[in-house]
Structure 1
Amino acid sequence: MSATVPDSMTWNARALQEIVSGEAQRPVLFTNARVLTADPLIGTLTGADVLLVGSVVVGVGPGIVTAAQDDGAIVVDCTGMTVVPAVVDTVALAGGRRHRSEYVATLTPGNAADLLVVPDALAGDVPEAVATLFTRPAEVRALVADGVPVVWAGQDVPGRGTAPAAGIPAAQDLTGSPRVGVWIDRGDFLHQELTADGRYDETRGGRPHAYQGRYWIDGDRIDYLDDLGFWAFGEFIGDELHHAGYIMKLR
């Protein structure tokens, strides 16, 4: 990600330019902020720091700035600002998670570096802060996804990623793909044939053509659109295909 920051992006413009310059990856520290972590152990912090390394939150709390500067971090001054998770786990916020380890959409060290920075006055709590992104987008100081700035000073960041085009994509030509073939689960109940023209055909419990439709592979993810109209997905993990509770291998 290498781009020139427009003059209109005045909030921490130098820091943003350093982030998007394309130089060797450096830690990024959001400092002097009120931090609503949404983590039940850490809670809300004032005058605190959030340290990102790549796509991961590696530190949260006061006093990180000294060590971060030692490590050559890019410093983003968030005086008067509140930092919240950009991805909100509403079940966790409502107290519906049993274990802290399940609070994945929080500003917790080890979690994804997804965060939102808005003025304190617009962040009475996490939902209010997130609502600012949709109701008052010009007030958003920063939106960061997996450690990469998406919005800064109320504007789209140059070189940011773009959402995929709406609509059903064209069929993939998967000729020669090692994932084309018949996948069979451990109990020999589900046989899922993936063909090179982007079609699948499932046999379930000996019932042929139980489900048929189109599929697309993106990295290790597979998306299905059944001819009945519903969507489903699976994931390739090593030499296994995990789908709807089934674990299959190519036969």
Structure 2
Amino acid sequence: MSASNTNRADWNEQALKEIASNDAGRPVLFSNARVLTMDPLIGTMTGADVLIVGSVVVGVGPGIVTAAQDDNAIVVDCTGMTIVPAVVDAVALVGGRAHRSHHVATLTPGNTADLLVVPDECATDVPGALATLFARPDQVSALVAAGDLVLWAGADVPGRPTAPAAGIPASQDLTGHPRIGVWIDREDFLHQELTMDGRYDETRGGRPHAYQGQFWIDGNRIDYLDDLGFWAFGEFHGDELHHAGYVMKLG
């Protein structure tokens, strides 16, 4: 069967409807596929299932479908399909990872559910599957990003995730934001002031205005654009701000 016939518009149409209306957090099971996990321990499996719950891969391998009814899972029949990671570790592809723990973006239980489903004939290997995505997206059966559908049966999914607009984002309204204030590291060397107008001002070792610029907070991440032109980042862990090797708390 050719790719064009395998990937017709009504491919798993009922499953698509169920996923689109999945407000109850039901698991989604891609079943009976050839799975190129890119995990050196798990390897490649045939007639295998990939189970995702929310944004996480929770199971890979044959036989998971036997519990689909027990778990009220949405089953996507992937007969004749190959599943590969949608986010690929290019270094691993060329054999440049010495340890399994160093591999990223594999279809391993516990990893983010980024996966690509294409007809077998479009995926002799992982690079071939990715080439299909870029050159012939109409042949893609499914593209899933962190558990969310992007493509289905060669077409955009309504409400699909979209990339943010390119360019420096607008300033945030940080009025009353709990992260605003002066952050001080454990040795009292670095003082980083975050202000409501989206600006930061660092004092280092008593040297004022060592670095100044803009910042943006997105969840537990903070991105900095220094007035000198470089970008940096930090992460909030509870009441701590981790940035460039420093651990700070609000003063």
Q: Same fold (TM over 0.5)?
A: yes
Amino acid at match of 2:77: D
Give the drift of 1:191. 1.4
Give the drift of 1:206. 2.4
In the other structure, the counterpart of 2:202 is 202
Distance in 1 of aligned mates of 2:249 and 2:97: 33
In the other structure, the counterpart of 1:127 is 127
Distance in 1 of aligned mates of 2:175 and 2:235: 20
- Structural mapping, 1:56-135, within 5 Å: 56-135=56-135
Distance in 2 of aligned mates of 1:23 and 1:201: 43
In the other structure, the counterpart of 2:31 is 31
Give the drift of 1:113. 1.0
Amino acid at match of 2:105: A
Give the drift of 1:231. 1.4
Equivalent pairs, count: 244
Distance in 2 of aligned mates of 1:47 and 1:232: 45
Give the drift of 1:86. 0.9
Alpha-carbon RMSD: 1.5
Amino acid at match of 2:216: W
In the other structure, the counterpart of 2:40 is 40
Give the drift of 1:217. 0.8
**Residue 148 of structure 2 contacts residue 161 of structure 2 at CA under 8 Å; is this kept in 1?**
no
Amino acid at match of 1:209: H
In the other structure, the counterpart of 1:4 is none
Distance in 2 of aligned mates of 1:71 and 1:169: 42
Q: Does 1:189 align with 2:182?
A: no
3-state SS, counterpart of residue 106 of structure 2: coil
Identity of aligned pairs, percent?
80
TM-score (norm 1): 0.92
Q: Which runs of 5+ in 2 are unaligned?
A: 1-7
Distance in 2 of aligned mates of 1:215 and 1:149: 31
In the other structure, the counterpart of 2:237 is 237
Give the drift of 1:44. 0.6
Amino acid at match of 1:91: V
Distance in 1 of aligned mates of 2:206 and 2:123: 56
3-state SS, counterpart of residue 112 of structure 2: coil
Deviations 1:127-159 (A, max 9, x none): 221222111111111001111111111111112
Distance in 1 of aligned mates of 2:39 and 2:243: 31
Give the drift of 1:28. 0.9
Distance in 2 of aligned mates of 1:185 and 1:92: 37
In the other structure, the counterpart of 1:137 is 137
Q: Does 1:52 align with 2:52?
A: yes
Give the drift of 1:248. 0.9
Give the drift of 1:165. 2.0
Amino acid at match of 2:56: V
Amino acid at match of 2:242: H
Distance in 2 of aligned mates of 1:245 and 1:181: 20
Q: Does 1:172 align with 2:172?
A: yes
In the other structure, the counterpart of 2:3 is none
Distance in 2 of aligned mates of 1:242 and 1:9: 48
Give the drift of 1:232. 1.3
Distance in 1 of aligned mates of 2:9 and 2:191: 54
Change in CA separation of 1:9 and 1:23 when aligned onto 2, cut-off 3 Å = farther
Give the drift of 1:102. 3.1
Deviations 1:159-217 (A, max 9, x none): 22222222222212212222111111122222111111100011222222111110111
Distance in 1 of aligned mates of 2:245 and 2:136: 41
Distance in 2 of aligned mates of 1:185 and 1:90: 37
Deviations 1:48-100 (A, max 9, x none): 11111111111111111111233221111111111001111122333333432
Distance in 2 of aligned mates of 1:75 and 1:233: 40
**Residue 223 of structure 2 contacts residue 233 of structure 2 at CA under 8 Å; is this kept in 1?**
yes
